[in-house]
């Protein structure tokens, strides 16, 4: 159990377009999901915390109008990169928190975004 999927795994888009990335908890309900960004050869940086049915909480320095997060159900959160630019190219990873004694997070496999 505790599987998290992301779709797509890889996407290439033109500069100026918007891209939506989905994060799903396949076998558990997640009231909270997290979005991370990873630059090449760098660590994961938390971008935002997504709570089901409410607005996401963004980390300092993350543009909320550029990275739109929606968490409309207990198993799905989406990250939309709006008006993408080459500097938005990155590896985006989501995680979902499963309710329990330790409220453990489970990570998705990541989405590679390349903006041309």
Partner 1 sequence: AQSVTQPDIHITVSEGASLELRCNYSYGATPYLFWYVQSPGQGLQLLLKYFSGDTLVQGIKGFEAEFKRSQSSFNLRKPSVHWSDAAEYFCAVGNNDMRFGAGTRLTVKP
64 sits near partner 1 (criterion: CB under 8 A): no
CA dist 53 and 74 (Å) reads: 9
Does residue 93 interact with partner 1 by CB under 8 A?
A: yes
By CB under 8 A, is residue 27 in contact with partner 1? no
- By CB under 8 A, residue 95 contacts partner 1: yes
15 binds partner 1 (CB under 8 A): no
Site membership for partner 1, residue 70 (CB under 8 A): no
| 8 A C-beta contact, residue 77 and residue 64 | no
Nearer to partner 1, 82 or 105 (CB): 105
Contact 7, 113 (CB under 8 A): no
Q: Which of residues 31-50 bind partner 1 (CB under 8 A)?
A: 34, 36, 41-46, 49
**How far is it, in rounded angstroms, from Cα 43 to Cα 41?**
7
Q: Strand, coil or helix: what is 102?
A: coil
Q: What would you report as the CA-atom Rg of the chain, rounded to the nearest whole angstrom? A: 13
Measured from the CB atom, the residue of 16 and 109 that comes closer to partner 1 is: 109
Measured distance CA(57)–CA(42) in Å, rounded: 23
Site of interaction with partner 1 (CB under 8 A)? 34, 36, 41-46, 49, 93, 95, 102-105, 107-110, 112
């Amino acid at each position: 159990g505790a599987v998290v999927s992301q779709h797509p795994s890889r996407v290439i888009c033109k500069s100026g377009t918007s891209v939506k990335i989905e994060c799903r908890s396949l076998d558990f309900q997640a009231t909270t999901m997290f979005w991370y960004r990873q630059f090449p050869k760098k660590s994961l940086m938390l971008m935002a915390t997504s709570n089901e049915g409410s607005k996401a909480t963004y980390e300092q320095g993350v543009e909320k109008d550029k990275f739109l997060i929606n968490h409309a159900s207990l198993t799905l959160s989406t990250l939309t990169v709006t008006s993408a630019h080459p500097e938005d190219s990155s590896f985006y990873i989501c995680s979902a928190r499963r309710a329990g004694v330790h409220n453990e997070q489970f990570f998705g496999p990541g989405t590679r975004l390349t903006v041309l």
